[in-house]
């Protein structure tokens, strides 16, 4: 680190500080992807394939970044994505993330496999939030989870469909987090010992370290290995769109289908009653070698039209990236790693500061592009980078975020 870099500002800054603070196996868990991590890298790099258009001599007084996401007012078109085990990266991490999102005026999404249960999150913020769910083999358990989420005030369900089986995240094997036996456990212990701030703040003061939403269904609720075995056994590779239709029949709130990359899948999701889709490849943590989220966004947005909301997840590292996603058809974006890096480095306050930077970047970009409201950001304001012919014609045939949201 440069001697004069005393204040973290960007996602990259917070990532470096998180790397120094966290035990290596935890940092690599959140930082890594599947196999060779090509898709994870492409998620970030492919934003450079698109350029925004600068327009001058327009009245841009009163730039307004506010919008609506899943029917609720938001200060900007960003939601915090669900991150499994967020409470292992900072003390009661889901609560810190939820409070930061509330301060910033944006939605927070808690994970099925979060450390803090939905009731704890609800008690911390006293307002609606989003709940992420996997389709588990035990449908009775799903019904119980949905009831708990509803009772806690969740009104939007983010349903993840790209995890019928878990991707091969090789970093987790290299560092001993998975399948390392006794050497792996000793390695983890050594990594914890060399991370004393984390060991005290999270390791000791952040207990209990279990998946709070699943505590009642695992025999040993304090054994994360038992939790992982349970969750792995519960992932259901037989799930089809008929199961989504069933989910629609039992959940009265909004449903966003997360993990869609192809236009045909987006259409199928809407046909089953979903209120929106989230274009996502699970942060490059599932099928390595698949396309980046941003390059798939416009085609999905064009296929959906004004029948549902379209969101982007994956690779967003700045407010500039957010604006590009909006111009390519997204209603908003979800960010995962960025808020966890900021939280691991500087706690709830770090997340609040990072989100304010994103808001300022969005507002500045809008002013320099000659627009003052989110619905003015359309495909006319984005173009393919010079000498980059990888983008296809469908990249720019989309309705933009100004399309009417679903009723």
For the annotated catalytic residues, the residue numbers are 282
Question: Can you spell out the DSSP letters for 355-397?
Answer: HHHHHHHHHHHHHHHT--BGGG--GGGEEEPTT---S-GGGG-
Nearest to 344 by CA among 90, 94, 100, 12: 90
Q: Which run of H or E residues covers position 128?
A: none
Cα dist from 160 to 82, 140, 320, 324, whole Å: 10, 18, 26, 24
Question: Can you spell out the DSSP letters for 181-217?
Answer: HHHHHHHHHHHHHT-HHHIIIIIITT---S-GGGGGG
* Four-CA torsion 105, 158, 124, 7, nearest 10 degrees: -50
Residue pair 319/339 in contact (Cβ under 8 Å)? The answer is no
Q: What are the φ/ψ torsions at residue 194 (nearest 5 degrees)?
A: -85, 10
> DSSP code of 131?
E
Residues with Cβ within 8 Å of 93's Cβ and at least 6 positions away in sequence, in order, are 83, 86, 87, 115, 116, 206, 340, 343
Cα dist from 208 to 105, 177, 228, 295, whole Å: 29, 19, 16, 40
**Do strands 50-52 and 382-384 pair parallel, antiparallel, or not at all (unpaired)?**
antiparallel
Phi-psi region of 37 (alpha: psi -120 to 50; beta: other; left: phi over 0): left
Residue pair 163/134 in contact (Cβ under 8 Å)? The answer is yes
Distance of CA 248 to the CA centre of its chain: 22
Q: Which run of H or E residues covers position 170?
A: helix 170-174
SS3 call for 227? helix
End-to-end CA distance of the chain: 50
Q: What are the φ/ψ torsions at residue 82 (nearest 5 degrees)?
A: -70, 135
Distance of CA 272 to the CA centre of its chain: 23
């Amino acid at each position: 680190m440069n001697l004069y870099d005393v204040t973290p500002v960007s996602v990259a800054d917070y990532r470096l500080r998180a790397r120094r603070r966290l035990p290596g196996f935890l940092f690599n868990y959140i930082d890594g992807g599947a196999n060779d991590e090509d898709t994870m890298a492409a998620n970030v790099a492919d934003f450079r394939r698109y350029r925004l258009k600068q327009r001058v001599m327009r009245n841009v007084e009163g730039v307004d970044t506010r919008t609506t996401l899943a029917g609720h007012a938001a200060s900007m078109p960003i939601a915090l994505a669900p991150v499994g085990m967020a409470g292992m990266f900072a003390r009661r991490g889901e609560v810190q993330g939820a409070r930061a999102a509330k301060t910033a005026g944006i939605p927070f999404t808690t994970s099925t496999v979060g450390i803090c249960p939905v009731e704890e999150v609800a008690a911390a913020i006293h307002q609606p939030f989003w709940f992420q769910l996997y389709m588990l083999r035990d449908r009775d358990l799903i019904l119980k989870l949905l009831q708990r989420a509803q009772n806690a005030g969740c009104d939007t369900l983010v349903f993840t469909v790209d995890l019928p089986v878990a991707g091969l995240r090789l970093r987790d094997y290299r560092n001993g987090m998975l399948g390392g036996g006794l050497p792996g456990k000793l390695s983890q212990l050594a990594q914890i010992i060399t991370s004393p701030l984390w060991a005290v703040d999270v390791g000791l003061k952040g207990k209990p370290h279990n998946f709070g939403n699943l505590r009642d269904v695992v025999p040993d609720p304090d054994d994360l290995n038992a939790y992982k075995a349970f969750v792995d056994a519960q992932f259901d590779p037989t799930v089809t769109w008929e199961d989504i239709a069933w989910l629609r029949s039992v959940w009265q709130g909004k449903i966003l289908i997360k993990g869609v990359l192809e236009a045909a899948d987006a259409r199928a999701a809407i046909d089953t009653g979903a209120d929106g889709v989230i274009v996502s490849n699970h942060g490059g943590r599932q099928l390595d070698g698949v396309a980046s989220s941003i390059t798939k966004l416009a085609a999905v947005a064009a296929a959906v039209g004004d029948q549902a909301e379209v969101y982007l997840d994956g690779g967003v590292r700045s407010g500039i990236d957010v604006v590009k996603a909006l111009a390519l058809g997204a209603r908003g974006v979800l960010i995962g790693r960025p808020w966890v890096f900021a939280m691991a480095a500087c706690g709830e306050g770090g997340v609040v500061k990072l989100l304010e930077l994103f808001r300022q970047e969005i507002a500045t970009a809008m002013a320099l592009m000659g627009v003052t409201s989110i619905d003015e950001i359309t495909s006319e304001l984005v173009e393919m980078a010079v000498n980059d012919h990888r983008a296809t014609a469908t990249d720019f045939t989309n309705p933009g975020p100004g399309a009417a949201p679903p009723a």
